[in-house]
Structures are given as structure tokens and as C-alpha cells.
Chain A
Amino acid sequence: MASDHGFRPVRLTIVDDLRRNRATVFFRALLALPLMVWLAVWAVVALVAGAANWVAALVLGRSPSPLHRFLSRFLRYATHAFAYLNLAAGPFPGFVGRPGYPIDLEIDPPARQSRWSVLFRAVLAIPAILLVTIIAGYGANIYGLNSRATLSCLLSVAAFLGWFSALIRGRMPRGLRDLAAYALSYGAQFWAYMLVLTDRYPSSDPLTAIGPLPVRDHPVRLETGGDLRRSRLTVFFRLPLAFPHLVWLALWGLLAACAGVINWFATLIRGTPPRAIHRFLAAYLRYQAHVAAYLFLIGNPFPGFTGTEGSYPIDLHIAGPERQNRWTVLFRLILVVPALIVLGIYNSLLLIAGFLGWFAALFTGRMPLGLRNAGALVVGYAAQTYAYIFLVTGGYPYSGPAEPRPAPAFPRQPLPVPILAPTPVPV
């Protein structure tokens, strides 16, 4: 999958071993209180400094070094504090935003900025505000004056689910940690842009937000091919053009639901899904991915109606039927609840990415890479979640961005997946 490998002036670095102390996890929200209070005080000063930075950048064409240093320090501290609060990092951070925290922020020194972009910063930031609201929770708990806990953004959902997992296992799941890191990365980019530290627009590309991605071998993987060119005519009519597909998908979905129930009984008895039902459900999931990709502008061409593998640039590869643990089959609908919670927020991201992408593609004839990859992340996750619900696979959906293992075929038995990084990952 193509990704935004271009140079970023605001970068998140991760040196985290995923281990969490259960006691600090249990009291995490309370432990983070002093950090939040200090952040609120600092934020008031930062807002004033940000306004001064805006005027200075408008006059000078660049951010003055002292202001830039102060605001960078503030952003770094905010990232540390929120990483701690949301379980993206383990140790308690310092109060001055000093570099060296496991989830850290690197911000480049002041550079020349377009005065037009500085002047209209608040207007230009509107699409990013929409995205940051759903990714990092702007207004809910991002660098915040308002730190009430809600499950309305990816960051808080990752923290909520990670809390239970870390409490039980003493480790933060890699997928949830990376999801939180992605949210923190976007939040940091957003505020760096808003505080006029850089004129580089925040990128929502999950593939480059957190450095090198883990290589995973999930039985359900999305392949994102095709280019970013979009036909303006089909973009304009994208919603009504997808309407026949949506109707067909709904009809097919009724049959898929019935097949899913049959598959549940069959897999519970045999331990393996029947090949014919597996094939039928795999085609349905593939078709669902094609339609979602088309509707949300992740793909350009009009998809076929049969969900044939290899027929669409955004394609789903599903491994053949494999043995599944009967206990996980029996309790599948309960086990899938955390994944559905993540999917609920992910779907909001997909909706906003599609909405913003619609305008962008209509005016430029291209889909922004960040929005395309953010959308593809959601489509892939949705496919893994539904595949898990329908018992097409026993592999639990992986919530973070990942690099699929470039293998020509899936093995019958799932390989052991290094979910937890054995050593710290320097970024």
C-alpha cells in the first residue's frame, strides 16, 4: 500500500515495551490528575503564546524561536500526559515535557511558512478539526481543558479497552497501543498546525503516523492497490451510484446472516467451518469491502456485484477454512464486543474521511493519501471484525495499523503472531 513517506516536521517516536504496571493501570485516571491540572494551566499560557505566534508568523513569515521552543515543549508535554492517561505509555511522565519519554514528540525547528496559510489557518483547519474530533477527541480530552472521559474517539476507546487488558495481562495490546499512538500523532500534528509551529497540514495516514509498522499475518487482509486518481463525475455521483450496490449488499446480507448462523452450529460441531459456507461468506465480505471502498472513495472504479477476488483494486484476501477453538466459537458474540466498540468509532472515521475525501477528490481529481489510507484501515478492520463474527476466521481483529506479511498464500494453521514487541521499537 502506498503511504505518505514524505518528511514530517512533527513526528511521534515510540520506545515502549508494552509492559504496564497493574497498580498504575488501575489508578491511571487518578494518577493522571496532576498531569491534567498542570496541562490545563500550561494550556492557558500556550493559547496566549499561540496567538502571539500567529501574529509573529504573519509578520515575519516564520515562528520566532523562543515561542516555537515554548510551544513545542508544551505539545511534547501534552503528548506525554495523554500517552500516560490513555495507557499508550507506562511510566509517569515529567512535568516539563523533556525529551526521552517512551511516547515522544519530535518537532523540527522553525521554518518559513506561507503567510496566506497562516492568515487563514483557522479556516484551513476545519477538515482537520473534523478528523481530530474523531481520532483524538478534540473538545473531549485532547490537550484539554475538558477532560471528561468519553468513548467518542479512537484514543479514548483504545484507552478504555486497553485498561481492561492491561489490568488482566500486565501488558497493553500492541494494536490498541498503536491505535492510541496514531491518535496522539494526529493530535500533535493538528495542534502544531493550529499553534503555527508548522504549515504542514496534519496527515491522517495511519501507515506513517507511528513509524515502522508491525508485520502481521492475519487470515483476513486488505490489499490497497490502485492509484489516487479519481473521476470527478463518478465522485460527484458516488452516493447514488453506490445505491444499487447497497441494496444488493442488504439482500445478500440477509442470506449471509442466515449462513452465519448455520456456520456457527457447524463450526461448533466440526471445529472447522464448512468450505461452501466459508466460500459464500468470504465472497460476501469481499463484496462488502469493495462497496465500502467505492462508497468512501478508497477505490476509484465501480465494483462488480459478485465479490470476486482480484476484481477490485481494494481487495480482501481471506484464507481458507481453518480449525477454530470451540470455546471461542461458542462465545463469539461476546468476544467480539470490544472489536465492535472499536469498529463503531472507526466507522465514524470512515464517514468523515469519505466526506472530506469527496470534496478533495471533486476539486483536485485525486483522493488525499492520508484519507485513503485511513479509510482503508477501517475497511480492513471492519472486514476482520465481520469475518470473526461470521466465523470465517478465528483470528481476532487487529485494531492498529499493520503491514500485511507479503506471502503468496495463507498457511492452513495460523502462525504465532508476535503481538507484543519483544524489544523496544526505536522510531
Chain B
Amino acid sequence: MAGSVTAAVGKVAETEPRWYQRPATFVLLGGAALWAWAGHALWVSTETAPIAGPQLEASRYFSSSFLERSATYGRFLEIESLLGMATLLVVLALYARHGHRLMRESAAGRIGTGMLLGMLGFGVVWLAEVPFGLVALWWQRRYDVSHQGYVPWLINSFLGLGTTFLFVCLALLVTMGLAGVMRRWWWAAAAPVLVAIGLAFTLVSPYLIPSTSPLRSPQLVADARALEREKGLSGTRLEVQDVHRFTTAPNAEAAGFGPSSTVVLWDTLLDGRFNRSEVRAVLGHELSHLAHHDPLKGLGWEALFLIPAWGLIALLTRRRGGMARPEAVPIALLVLVALQLLTTPFFNAVSRRQEAAADWGALVATREPAAARSLERKLAITSLSEPDPSGFSSFLFDNHPTAMERIAMTYAWEERSANGQQNLGSSHLP
């Protein structure tokens, strides 16, 4: 009897194909190749701007007291941020281990319970990060970068969790719903669904930015329209966001695509500290982002990150029954956040590349390198950012080129302009 069983097992083993003979292996390999090709295509779609201009001394543009002050300010926040990340991982690791016990607090079904665990995971993370946020705010207030009160910050931060929870629920609805139907291969199917949701969100995101109103200055609107034409764009929405109650730091952003393409200027940029040429440089920068389709590329990068991340999550959550089960959600959170932290330097590099390209695009469009230099100097001073941080710090934390790199770029543009080579020979950088 025992002999016949052994023979049968041996027969099964003989008939079962090896891993390299399975169709799934080929599908996976093909997928991996496609993924690598897409990543490469996305990377090269953003041309490298010549940020390696002449070597400049920061002390030529900033006072020694400012350099010292910004270094102290930045260093503290960096250390604080690293401690915050470590705490985040510890908290999530503990939550991954014990979080499934909170299932008893749910009367919802499988997916609803998963949503509860996902939201509570982010809630626990918020609780753990609150002290770091408060310390950071204290530091910013001390250096006059922020004048937001502690209580309003806490309340806003707490209520902001509602939006986070909403997205967590949506993501878990898709992943757990698909995992319930497709079991082990849900992650491959989830990608197109979430990309479609991401696309829809990117499209409507400009309309969700709070406290905005149309840009009213006729001169700036005229400047923006002229720059738009330079960039081959039209109909971009120009909005101003009211943020001066919370911060003195200036900023701007480009959001949306197609009909929802929007440039949002913070009202701190229009409070008289920046002259018209400098604001024009900001407009040129943001319009370049839109011309380079950076919001869509951002979505592409996220999709490229999520596909393998979900594959890994699918693998690591098997012990708890896979993503179809709510008890797997705390583990999924840990894996996702850990992967995000690990890949942060890479995504910072991607962002720096896009920002540099937008800077270059702004120079090409405005042809005002002196205004760009002045802007970068003022931006650094008002936001107290270190003009020339260490390479390690930049690698870990910076998603924009440093102020000195950006200033150097203006010289590089002047040099090329003098040689009649403004366009870098690129289709992406007109």
C-alpha cells in the first residue's frame, strides 16, 4: 500500500511541470520586462536639465548667518523626520502583529472590517506621529516659518484623517473586492482599476484644492497666457490658494491634466515680497510641469510602484489568508509603508529630475535668468531651506533641486543662450 502511494506521488511529481515550464512564469517574466520597459520609458520621458552648471559658492548669494541658521533649522527637521520614520515603522510592525484583534470592533462584513483595520492603522500612525508633528511645528514657529497655532494644527490634522480614511476605504474596497474574486492574482487586476481611479482623481484634483479663487491680477494673467502660448498650452486654470493664515512660506503647484489643467499659486507668493518677474518665473515653472505632463507621469510612477508592491503584499499576506481577509490588512499596511520609505530616495530623484526640467522650461519661456536667481534666493530665505545641503541629506529628503543647483542652472542657461542652444535639442523642453 505504502509503495503504491510513493509511486503515485512520484508520478505526480514527474508530471508536474517545473517552475520554468509553467505558463505563469512566462507571464510573470513578460510582465516584469514590460514593467522595466515602462519604467525606463517614463524615466527618459523627462529630459535631464543641465543642473550641473558652474560651481557656485553659497556664501556669494546668502549671508553666513542665514547659511548657519538654515543648516541648524534643516538639520533638526531631518533628524526629527528620521526619528518619525523609525517610529512609524515600529508602530506599524506592532500593528501588523496585533492589529487583527481589532476585528472584534466591527459588525461589518469582510471588506468593511478590512476598511476599519486599514483606517485604524492610519489612525494609530497618526497618533504616533502627532508628537513629531507638534515638535516640527514648534521648530517652524521658532524660526518664524509657520505661525499656525498648535490647537488648529491638531484639529486640522485630525479632521484631515477623514479624507485619508476615505481613500484608504476606496483602495481597500478595490483590493479586497478583487482579492475575494481573483484570489492570488488580484494584484495584477487591481493595477488597471486603481490607475483608472487615479486618473479620475488626477483629473478632478484641482477642483478639490480648498480655499482657492481665480487669479485676479490682470498683469499676471496676461503673463501666464503669454507663457502658455510659449509652452503650447491653452485654457489653463489660474487659481490662488489662501494659505497665509497658516504659513509665510511661498509655494505653487500644477495639478490636473487636459481640461482640468490648473496652476495654483499660494497667496504668500503674491503678498508683495516677490516682484512680477519672479512670479512669472514661478508661472513658467508650473506651466512647464503641465507641458511636460508631470501630473500624469506622477500617476505612472505610482502605478509602477504599486504593481510590484501589491505583488509583494499578496505574497506576504498569504499567512493570514491573503488580501481577501481583513486580518491581512495590518500586514499589508506595514509592507506598503515600508516599501514607500525604502523607495523614497528613488522617487525623490524622479521628482528632482522633473523639477529641474520645469526650471529649465521656465528659463526657456521667460528668458529671465536674473529673475529666476532672485526668486530662488528669496524662496530659500523665506522657507529657510538650506541652499546647499549635503549629498546624503539631499538624497534622502529633497524632492526639488537645491537652491544652488537651481541658481547654477540659470548660469548654464545664460551660457547656452549666448551660444544659441536654448532648447537642449529636446522635444520635452521647448
Pairing of A with B: yes
- A contact set with B: CB distance below 8 Å: 231, 233-234, 236-237, 239-241, 243-244, 247, 299-306, 311-313
Contact stretch, chosen from B41-49, B86-94, B112-120, B411-419: B112-120
Partner of B107, one of A231, A244, A311: A311
A-B pairs with beta carbons under 8 Å apart, 26 shown: A233-B102, A233-B105, A234-B116, A234-B120, A236-B123, A237-B120, A239-B159, A240-B123, A241-B119, A243-B161, A243-B163, A243-B165, A244-B115, A244-B165, A301-B106, A301-B107, A301-B108, A302-B105, A302-B107, A302-B113, A302-B115, A302-B116, A303-B108, A304-B109, A305-B108, A311-B107
Cβ-defined contact, B113 with A237, below 8 A: no
Chain B residues whose CB sits within 8 angstroms of the CB of A299 once the complex forms = 107
User: B346 at interface (Cβ–Cβ under 8 A)?
Assistant: no
Bound form: Cα–Cα A233–B123 in Å: 9
1/0 contact trace for B104-135 toward A, CB 8 Å?
11111100110110011001100100000000
B-chain residues with CB within 8 Å of residue A311 when the two chains form the complex: 107-108
Q: Which 3 pairs across A and B sit closest by C-beta, in order of nearness?
A: A243-B162, A301-B107, A304-B108
Interface size class of B (residues with CB under 8 A): 20 to 34
Q: How far is the CA of A234 from the CA of B127 in the complex (A)?
A: 12
Check: B315 CB closer than 8 A to any chain A CB: no
Contact (Cβ within 8 A) B105 A231: yes
A241–B116 CA distance with the chains assembled, in angstroms: 7
CB–CB B112/A241 < 8 A: no
B207 sits at the interface (CB 8 A)? no
Do B123 and A241 touch (CB < 8 A)? Answer: yes
Please, which residue of chain A has its CB at the minimum distance from the CB of B172? A244
- Interface residues of chain B: helix, strand, loop or mixed (majority): helix
Q: Is the CB of B112 within 8 A of A304?
A: yes
**Complex: chain A residue closest to B158, CB-CB:** A240
Contacts of A239 in B (CB 8 A): 158-159, 162
| Distance between Cα atoms of A6 and B106 in the complex (Å) | 31
CA distance in complex: A241, B163 (Å)? 10
- Who on chain B is nearest to A231 by CB? B105
Give the residue name and chain of the B residue nearest to A310 (CB): B107
CA distance A247 to B115 in the complex (A): 14
Query: Closest residue of chain A to B119, judged by CB?
Result: A241
**B166 touches which of A233, A244, A313 (Cβ 8 Å):** A244
| B169 neighbours in A (Cβ, 8 Å) | 244
B172, chain A: closest CB distance, angstroms: 10
Question: Which residue, of A240, A241, A313, has the highest number of chain B Cβ atoms within 10 A?
Answer: A240
Q: Name A's interface SS.
A: loop
Contacts of B124 in A (CB 8 A): 233
In B58-107, the 8 Å CB interface with A consists of 102, 104-107
Cβ contact within 8 Å between B107 and A240 = no
Q: B108–A302 contact, CB under 8 A?
A: yes
Which residues of the partner chain B approach A244 to less than 8 Å between Cβ atoms?
Answer: 115, 119, 165-166, 169
Closest CB in chain B relative to A313 CB, distance in Å: 7
Give CA–CA (A234, B116) in the complex, Å. Answer: 9
Add 20 more A-B contacts to A301-B106, A302-B106 (CB < 8 A). Answer: A233-B120, A234-B102, A234-B105, A237-B119, A239-B162, A240-B119, A240-B158, A241-B119, A243-B166, A244-B115, A244-B169, A247-B166, A299-B107, A301-B107, A301-B108, A302-B113, A302-B115, A302-B116, A311-B107, A312-B107
Q: Which residue of chain A lies nearest to B168 when distances are taken between CB atoms in the complex?
A: A244
Map CB proximity to A onto B146-176 as digits: 1 under 8 Å, 0 otherwise: 0000000000001101111110010000000
Instruction: Determine if A237 and B161 form an interchain contact, defined as CB atoms under 8 angstroms apart.
Output: yes
Instruction: For the complex, give the distance between the alpha carbons of A247 and B169 in Å.
Output: 11
Nearest-neighbour CB distance to chain B for A176, whole angstroms, equals 34
Is the Cβ of B105 less than 8 Å from the Cβ of A240?
no
Q: With A234-B120, A237-B120, A305-B112 known to touch, is A300 a contact of B165 (CB < 8 Å)?
A: no
Contact present for A237 and B106 (CB under 8 Å): no
Query: Complex Cα distance A419/B170, Å?
Result: 47
Q: Is there contact, CB below 8 Å, between B162 and A240?
A: yes
Query: What distance in Å separates the Cβ of A54 from its nearest Cβ neighbour in chain B?
Result: 34
CB distance from A115 to the nearest CB of B (A): 35
- Residues of B within 8 Å of A301, CB to CB, are 104-108
| B275-288 interface bits toward A, Cβ cutoff 8 Å, 1 = contact, 0 = none | 00000000000000
Whether A303 lies near B105 (C-beta < 8 A) is: no
Of all chain B residues, the one with the shortest Cβ separation from A300 is B105
A305 to B159, CA, bound (A): 22
Residues of A within 8 A of B159 (CB): 239-240
Closest B residue by C-beta to A304: B108
- Inter-chain CA distance A223–B372, complex, in Å, is 67
- Would you give the shortest CB distance from B98 to chain A, in whole angstroms? 11
Q: Are A303 and B112 in contact, CB atoms less than 8 angstroms apart? A: yes
Min CB–CB distance B154 → chain A (angstroms): 13
Q: Complex formed: what's the CA distance from A243 to B115 in Å?
A: 12
Query: Would A241 and B165 be within 8 Å (CB), given that A233-B123, A302-B113 are in contact?
Result: yes
Which of B113, B119, B159 is packed against the most chain A CB atoms within 10 Å?
B119
- A304-B120 contact given A233-B102, A239-B162, A240-B165, CB 8 Å threshold: no
Given contacts A233-B102, A233-B120, A237-B123, A302 and B112 within 8 Å (CB-CB): yes
CB distance from A289 to the nearest CB of B (A): 13
Least CB distance from B91 to A in Å reads 13
Docked Cα-Cα span, A43 to B109, in Å, equals 56
* CB-defined contacts of B164 to chain A, threshold 8 Å: 240
Q: With the chains together, A239 CA to B104 CA distance in Å?
A: 19
Contact of B102 among A231, A243, A247, A303 (CB under 8 A): A231
CA distance A304 to B112 in the complex (A): 6
Name which residue of chain B comes closest to A314, CB basis: B107
The answer for the CA separation of A240 and B102 in the assembled complex, in Å, is: 17
Residues of B within 8 A of A312 (CB): 107
Q: How far is the CA of A313 from the CA of B105 in the complex (A)?
A: 12
What is the CB-to-nearest-CB distance from A297 to chain B, in angstroms, rounded to a whole number?
13
Chain B residue numbers with a CB within 8 Å of A302 are 105-108, 112-113, 115-116
The residue in chain B whose Cβ has the minimal distance to the Cβ of A301 is: B107
Contacts of A305 in B (CB 8 A): 108, 112
Residue of A nearest to B162 (CB): A243
Please name all residues of chain B whose beta carbon is closer than 8 Å to the beta carbon of A237 when the two chains form the complex: 119-120, 123, 161
User: Contacts of A241 on B, CB cut-off 8 Å?
Assistant: 116, 119-120, 123, 165
Cα–Cα, bound, A312→B108 (Å): 8
- Per the bound structure, the CA–CA distance linking A305 and B109 in Å amounts to 9
Cα distance, A206 to B4, chains bound together (Å):
75
**CB proximity of B347 to chain A, nearest CB, Å:** 27
Task: Name A315's closest neighbour in chain B (CB-CB).
Answer: B107
- In the bound complex, CA of A241 to CA of B126 (Å): 13
Chain A residues with CB under 8 A of B102: 231, 233-234
CB-CB under 8 A from B166, the residues of chain A are 243-244, 247
Bound Cα distance A312, B116 (Å) = 15
Among A302, A303, A304, the most chain B Cβ lie within 10 Å of the Cβ of: A302
Q: Which residues of B contact A247 (CB under 8 A)?
A: 166
Contact pattern, B 133-146, Cβ under 8 Å of A = 1, otherwise 0: 00000000000000
B352 to chain A, nearest CB (A): 33
Report the nearest A residue to B110, measured CB to CB. A304
Give Cα A233–Cα B116 distance, bound, in whole angstroms. 11
Q: How far is the CA of A196 from the CA of B166 in the complex (A)?
A: 48
